[in-house]
């Protein structure tokens, strides 16, 4: 399972209802979480969302723009003031790492835990946990910008109940023992657990886009993914007026790509403040549904989504 | 008049009810304002307080610690994205200025307005407006830290009404003309406005402390001031436990100093998160009132205070 908590859904500047970018990622494996992007005020949103900086294991920064990283120094310092000791992984562009060094030095900030930097441009996938892998995928923006794909697997042991029934072994303690990996004597022979258990590996994947003017460059990244989270800064009509300079996507661009790609679930985020009102959000929703037949959500701050191992996406309130 | 709006009243880290340091200063001269300290999330608080980044004329940073400056890059960038063109003064420690250069460079941030740096350690008072002067006063902290004193004057023209009555000129249009600087013919002679108008200069001063372990080092700075705003990070009992390492003040230290100094108004702020509950605030209030007989307030986020030219301090809600 992948659980996503949106900590900020505004583009560029915060508004009274939406903070700048920040997205918490959790899995079925427990309280540990990873943060994707860290705009100013993310540590405040972390508190409000009931997440703990002690359980944070990695921070991923998609690109150098301030609305995606200006919250880093405060979040790191607060984790230190809360007596964090465990190492923290930072997957970020090199200039962000360089900026952090200067920040810590100039502001007399001393982190009481190791901060371990991985260059976001390094193509080697990062193993977050044995069953969870993070890979980076280049996008088109004014500066180098990366999407993060999270692949999550789970091995399920299923007892071959039909075969056991056929053998004449009825449900009971012997079934439980076999399913827990223990061998069981039955009618003068030893039933080996491995022979009577089928291991099924379940797999889900989500692609979490950073700022990106061309959704189509995520074609390979979206292969086999059940969910795409992507910026949709503008309605198409607004993008037409603004022009290509900012290198952001419209709802139409993203929805069209997701439809062509056959991604079954789409979450849009990173909305320009001009689109924060309920009326404007409805405009965006309509535009999305016009070009995309899958399940689409427009993220709000503190929305929590769960992608189950059967590929179903649910919004939790 | 001086109007102070508290944008953050927590020390070190934000809590759910209080942000880190930020204080907006306005005067009787209009919408223009000055920001003293800029912890992370200050731009969010500015929005919530209904202040405009277009009217911001100066930012003063008391010292380099992150809870007093990590909000600077985001606030400056947002002012730029809101198309600010006017120059902005930044009175800050040299390392903060150096950090800002690196920040702008590493994060591809381009401000469309001039940012003019003044070293906070420069002893020359800064003339904010012709009648408003800002001076800096060294304090004791783990890093160089400065308090800001704001002196504010207003010239009031008062007609010498008793003398005019004695002369035989009754109240009427001639009085109005004289008070507006016009000379007036009366019984064959010319009454010169300057002779019949008395100019009274009113003066108030407030001292806005930064982080400071020894309130007494502000003795000279508080001379003739009607208001002291000072950090009171801990109750005395907590400071006794914590020890002198963090170099912060207790309520008792500040209250005792303000009493000895004879400052008539005291606002305490910058409370450790352990003191954010209503019960803990009552403990601090009692401690303050035990050692100080003047008017004392414990600041909360978004509290607005006005210091009138008669020296009276009022809390506005």
Query: How confident is the model over A134-163, as pLDDT tens digits?
Result: 999 999 999 999 999 999 999 998 999 999
Note whether B247 contacts A: Cβ–Cβ < 8 A.
no
Query: What integer is the mean pLDDT of B180-200?
Result: 93
A61/A152 Cα distance (integer angstroms): 20
Q: How many angstroms away from the CA of B236 is the closest CA of chain A? A: 21
Specify the pLDDT at position B316. 87
Helix-helix angle A94-106:B94-106, to 10 degrees: 170
**A49: closest chain B residue by CA:** B16
Q: Looking at chain B, how many residues does it have? A: 317
Q: What are phi and psi of B233, to 5 degrees?
A: -65, -35
Complete DSSP assignment for A9-61: -BSSS--SS--BSEEEEEETT-S-EEEEEE-TTHHHHHHHTT--TTSEEEEE-
Query: What integer is the mean pLDDT of A28-46?
Result: 96
Map tokens 């003398």 to a residue.
Answer: B163
Strand ranges (E), chain B? 2-8, 22-27, 33-38, 56-60, 88-92, 115-119, 126-129, 132-139, 145-159, 184-186, 189-191, 197-208, 227-231, 265-269, 295-298, 304-307, 313-316
Confidence label for B6 from pLDDT (cuts 50, 70 and 90):
very high
pLDDT in tens, B33-72: 999 999 999 999 999 999 999 999 999 999 999 999 999 9
Collect all residues of chain B within an 8 Å Cβ-Cβ radius of residue A13. Answer: 43, 77-78, 81-82
Residue B37 among the catalytic residues: no
pLDDT in tens, A205-248: 999 998 999 999 999 999 999 999 999 999 999 999 999 999 99
Note whether A176 contacts B: Cβ–Cβ < 8 A.
no
Q: How many angstroms away from the CA of B33 is the closest CA of chain A? A: 21
Interface probe, candidates A43, A50, A67, A102, chain B, greatest B C-beta count within 10 A: A102
State yes or no: B65 annotated in a binding site.
Answer: yes
Q: Is the pLDDT of residue A187 over 90?
A: yes
Considering only the beta carbons, identify the residue of B65, B70, B102 that sits closest to A108. Answer: B65
Instruction: Output the average pLDDT for chain A.
Output: 97
Specify the pairing of strand B227-231 against strand B197-208. Answer: parallel
Comparing CA positions, the residue from B293, B137, B278 lying closest to residue B209 is: B137
Specify the pLDDT at position A317. 67
Q: Between A and B, how many residue pairs show a Cβ–Cβ distance under 8 A? A: 123
CATH 3.60.15.10 fits A2-156+199-316, yes or no: yes
**Tell me, what's the ipTM?**
0.93
State yes or no: B141 annotated in a binding site.
Answer: yes
State yes or no: B119 annotated in a binding site.
Answer: no
- Give the dihedral of Cα atoms A78, A81, A82, A86; nearest 10 deg: 90
Note whether B70 contacts A: Cβ–Cβ < 8 A.
yes
Q: How many angstroms away from the CA of A216 is the closest CA of chain B? A: 25
Comparing CA positions, the residue from A132, A133, A98, A103 lying closest to residue A117 is: A98
Specify the pLDDT at position A273. 97
Structure tokens at A179: 């399913």
Specify the pairing of strand A56-60 against strand A88-92. Answer: parallel
Q: Is the pLDDT of residue A96 over 70?
A: yes
Instruction: Output the average pLDDT for chain B.
Output: 97
Phi-psi region of A190 (alpha: psi -120 to 50; beta: other; left: phi over 0): beta
Least-confidence region, from A40-44, A192-196, A287-291, B110-114: A192-196
State yes or no: B63 annotated in a binding site.
Answer: yes
Considering only the beta carbons, identify the residue of B67, B98, B109 that sits closest to A106. Answer: B98
**A70: closest chain B residue by CA:** B74
A153/B29 Cα distance (integer angstroms): 64
Distances (CA, A) of A140 to A215, A220, A228, B85: 8, 14, 16, 30
Interface probe, candidates A13, A17, A18, chain B, greatest B C-beta count within 10 A: A13
Q: Is the pLDDT of residue A179 over 80?
A: yes
Q: Are the C-beta atoms of B294 and B258 separated by less than 8 Å? A: yes
Collect all residues of chain B within an 8 Å Cβ-Cβ radius of residue A20. Answer: 74
Percent of chain A with pLDDT over 70: 100
pLDDT in tens, B136-161: 999 999 999 999 999 999 999 899 99
Please tell me which residue in B37, B67, B151, B301 is annotated as part of the active site: B67
Which class for A175: exposed (0-12), middle (13-18), buried (19 or more C-beta within 10 A)? middle
Confidence label for A42 from pLDDT (cuts 50, 70 and 90):
very high
Residue A218 contacts by C-beta under 8 Å, 6 or more apart in sequence?
A: A137, A139, A147, A207, A209, A212, A228, A230, A257
Please state the domain extents for chain A: 2-156+199-316, 157-198
Specify the pLDDT at position A52. 97
State yes or no: A141 annotated in a binding site.
Answer: yes
Specify the pLDDT at position B41. 98
Comparing CA positions, the residue from B20, B56, B53, B2 lying closest to residue B301 is: B20
Specify the pLDDT at position A316. 87
């Amino acid at each position: 399972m992948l659980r996503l908590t949106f900590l900020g859904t505004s583009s560029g500047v915060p508004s009274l209802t939406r903070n700048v970018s920040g997205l918490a990622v959790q899995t079925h494996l427990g309280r540990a979480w990873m943060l994707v992007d860290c705009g100013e005020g993310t540590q405040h949103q972390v508190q409000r969302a009931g997440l703990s900086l002690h359980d944070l294991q990695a921070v991923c920064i998609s690109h150098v723009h301030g609305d995606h990283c200006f919250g880093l120094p405060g979040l790191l310092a607060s984790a230190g003031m809360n007596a964090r000791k465990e190492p923290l992984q930072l997957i970020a562009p090199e200039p962000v790492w360089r900026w952090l060094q200067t920040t810590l030095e100039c502001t007399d900030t001393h982190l009481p835990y190791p901060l371990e930097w991985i260059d976001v441009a390094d193509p080697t996938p990062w193993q977050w946990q044995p069953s969870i892998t993070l890979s980076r995928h280049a996008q088109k923006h004014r500066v180098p910008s990366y999407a993060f794909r999270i692949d999550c697997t789970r091995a399920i042991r299923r007892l071959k109940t039909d075969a056991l029934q056929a053998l004449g072994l009825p449900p009971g303690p012997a079934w439980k023992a076999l399913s827990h990996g223990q061998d069981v004597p039955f009618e003068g022979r030893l039933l080996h657990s491995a022979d009577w258990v089928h291991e099924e590996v379940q797999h889900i994947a989500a692609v979490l886009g950073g700022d990106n003017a061309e959704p189509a460059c995520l074609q390979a990244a979206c292969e086999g993914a059940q969910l795409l989270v992507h910026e949709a800064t503008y309605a198409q009509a607004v993008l037409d007026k603004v022009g290509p300079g900012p290198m952001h996507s419209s709802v139409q661009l993203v929805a069209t790509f997701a439809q062509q790609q056959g991604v079954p679930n789409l979450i849009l985020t990173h909305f320009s403040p001009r689109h924060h009102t309920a009326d404007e959000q409805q405009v965006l929703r309509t535009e999305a549904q016009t070009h995309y037949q899958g399940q689409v959500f427009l993220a709000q701050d503190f929305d929590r989504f769960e992608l189950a191992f059967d590929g179903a996406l649910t919004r939790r309130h």
